[in-house]
Structures are given as structure tokens and as C-alpha cells.
Amino acid sequence: MSTQPIYIPRAGGERERRRPQLPQDRKRELRIWWREIDRWLLGLVLLLMAVGTLAVAAASPASANRLSTADVALPDLYFFWAHVRWQVLGLLVLLATSMLPRELMRRGSILLAGAMLVLLLLVPFVGYEVNGAKRWIRFGLGVQPSEFLKPAFAITVAWILSWKLRDPKLPVILISGALVGVITVLLMAQPNLGAAILFIGCWLVMVMLAGLPLQRIGMLVGAGVAGMLAAYLFYDNARQRIDSFFGGPSAYDHVDLANRTLTGGGWTGSGFWLGQNKMRLPEAHTDYIFSVIGEELGLIVCAIVVLLYLAIVLRVLIRLVDEDRLFIILAASGLIALFGGQAFINILVNLQLFPSKGMTLPLVSYGGSSTIAQCFTMGLLLAVTRRNPYLAPEPFDLRDALEKEEDQ
């Protein structure tokens, strides 16, 4: 294509020189994005992803050796190189998502939630099983619908709960509760109790922020306790995991192996690629990667990883202190509750303080669906927390807003 300037005739025979505007518009959009984005949050996310790259490199030999067969021997860094490819794709997803306008981001997330809910309905019929759980659908590559439903669910519920400002009489709690109930039933059928707990926890955080009265919060907590009791009595997967946790681990139990691997390196670790316990650990590159970090890099590095997760959560909460839009507050809170909750559960499992849940460590564990979905989650967080630094938002009080709507 020619790069010659474009000449446009003017009145009187004069000509004005004008260059194409598209590149300039793109540069302007990028400058606005860089000015509005939370660069501290972006930096923390990139640092955590770098830690994940190092951790998968440490865990890759153990998983490659465990999954090799007599016919096919996987190279030691097989999962490392695959993880790098997924991270590059995930980083592109993160940056592209963070540039979306809020309205487009909201509409796209609602459509994604509907599509993933349909796929979740199809999983029992056309899905395939891995490690005793049917959670994946194959589209050339395996896709886990629940992973992509998580961030879309948070945005959708935030949108539903924000209806309250338009009409306080709308049963937004009931509508959003019905949605999370359907998702919970579908997840427990896989079985995927850990993800079900995560969805319920995210929903509870959001409805409390939406101004749910304390009396109803108490009722929901009571219903949650009753639900866990019912799951123990009638849901085999939950009963087996809870019994295994409270009954004490055996010498060959996955959680016990993970805990011994975690503490095997002491404070400073046994050295990169020098860990021995990891070679016996199942899912070293996914569910129990935190234990591999502990053995090879030490408990000090594990503490740094925990601090990184806490810093990301706190950074989002600090960003929301002066926010004046209910939808943004609810959406960001729901997204960070999913992210922080999943990290919290995974770390507790590795510390032998929580029953095994088959849940990855966000942005650190190896994975295709999980890596892309977590990057999408952080991209949405960056998108909803974008703010013009030259505009001072007005203080927002949900109670006052609801009272004004009622008076009208």
C-alpha cells in the first residue's frame, strides 16, 4: 500500500496535506489506556505470572516423568514450554480485555455467561472424564466451561444486583440466587464441589455489598451450613473428601504427600530441580505446585507468593475506596473474590488445612483453560477499575441511594 501523503483540494485551487488518522487514533487510545489503567495491579499480575513460569519449570520434570509411558517419553520441560505458550496467549487476552469499554465488557460477559452455562448443561452428555471428574468439553482442545463461567458470572451478577438502584422492589437477590443455585447443581453433578463453593462464596460477597440486611445474611449462612450437612449426607464426593480430611491422611495420601513436599526444603529450599519428594507427587504442575515451590525454592518464597496474592486483593480494594458506581464496586469485588478465594483454597489444601478440591493456583499452576480464564479475569478487573486520574469521583453511599429510590 502506498505511503504517499493524501492531497485534498481546497477552495481557490489550494491543496491541503493530510495523513491517514487511524494510526494516530490507535496511539491516542493506547495513551488513554495507559493513563487510566491501574499500573500497580498490572505489575503485580505480571510478577505473579513470572513466578508461575519458574514454578512450572521446577514441577515439569516430575509430571513429565509420571505421565510418560513405555511408548512415549515426555521431555523434562514438556509442561514448561506448553505453559509458556499458554501464558503468551493469556497475556494477549489480558491486555485486549483490559482495553474494552465498560459497556462492551459488560455485554460480552453476559453473553459469555449464557454460552458457558449452556456448555455446562452439555458436559454430562458430551464431556470427557479426567481423574474421575467429567468437567471438560473437547473443541480440538479441551475446554472447561466452569473456568470461563467464573468471571462472566461475577459481571452478570453485578449487573443484576445493580438493578436495585433503578427499582428497589425488584427481587435481585432471588434472581441471582436462582442463577447460582442452577450453577451449583450442575457443578456438583460433575463432580466439582470446590468450584461450587467458590461460586457460592462469590455470590455471598456480592449480595452483602449490595446492601443485604444482616437478618437475611444470617439466614443465608444458616442455609449454607445446612447445605454442607446435606452434601455430607447425600453427596458421596463431599463425604469422601471430608472423611479423608478429618480422619487423618495416610502415608500415601495426596494431601499428606503435598504437605511433606512443601516442608521438605525448609526455609531456603533444596535448590532448583533438586527436589526429590515432588517426583512422587501427583499433579505437581497443577494442584500441588505450591508444594513444589516450597521444596525447591523454600518457605520464604512461598510466603512471598502469599504476599503477592494479598497485595493483588488489597490493591483492588484500595482502588474501590473512592468508586462511586455500584456496578463497578460489585463487579470488581466479585472478580477479586473468585481470584483470591481460589488461591486461598489451593494454598490451604497444600498446607493440609482444607480437604483436597482439585483446584489450581491462579496464574501460577500449569493449565490451558485455567490460564486463559484467569488472565481474562484479571483483564476484566483492569477494565472495570480503569479511571481517569484527573476526575475526582463523588462519594457513594448505597444506603442513601436506595432510600432516595424508595422516596421517589
Per-block mean pLDDT, blocks of 10 residues, the chain (408 long): 51 49 72 89 95 93 84 88 94 94 92 93 81 74 87 94 82 89 88 87 89 69 70 62 58 70 85 84 87 92 95 93 86 95 91 79 90 94 85 55 47
Q: Return the residue matching grid coordinates 476484566.
A: 380
Q: Give CA–CA dist 127/115, Å, rounded.
A: 15
Task: Tell me 125's DSSP state.
Answer: H
Neighbours of 82 (CB within 10 A): 16
Name the grid cell of 125.
452428555
CB-based burial of residue 68 (10 Å sphere; 0-12 exposed, 13-18 middle, 19+ buried)?
middle
Distance CA 267, CA 172 (A): 49
User: What's the angle, vertex CA 395, arms to CA 393 and CA 396, rounded to 5?
Assistant: 110
Residues 6+ apart with CB under 8 A from 191: 133, 235, 237
DSSP 268: T
Report d(CA 49, CA 337) in Å as an integer. Answer: 19
What phi and psi, each to the nearest 5 degrees, are found at residue 154? -60, -45
236-246 helix and 193-209 helix, angle to the nearest 10 degrees: 90
The residues spanned by each domain of the chain are 38-386
Q: Is the dihedral of CA 277, 281, 284, 288 positive or negative?
A: negative
Nearest CA-CA partner of 124 in 138, 109, 134: 134
CA angle 170, 176, 182 (to 5 degrees): 140
pLDDT at 148: 93
DSSP H stretches of helix in 37-129: 39-67, 78-98, 102-126
Quick one: which of 221, 224, 144 has its CA closest to 187?
144
Dist. CA 203–CA 201, nearest whole Å: 5
Query: Which residues face 133 on adjacent strands?
Result: 130
Order of strands across the sheet that contains 141-143: 128-130, 133-139, 141-143
Of residues 151, 210, 201, the one with CA closest to residue 180: 201
- What is the distance in angstroms between the CA of the first residue and the CA of the last residue of the chain? 60
Phi, psi (rounded to 5 degrees) for 130: -135, 125
Nearest to 387 by CA among 142, 90, 98, 126: 98
Contact 277, 250 (CB under 8 A): no
Residue 136, SS3 per DSSP: strand
Residue 408: its pLDDT value, please? 40
Give me the pLDDT at residue 16, please: 47
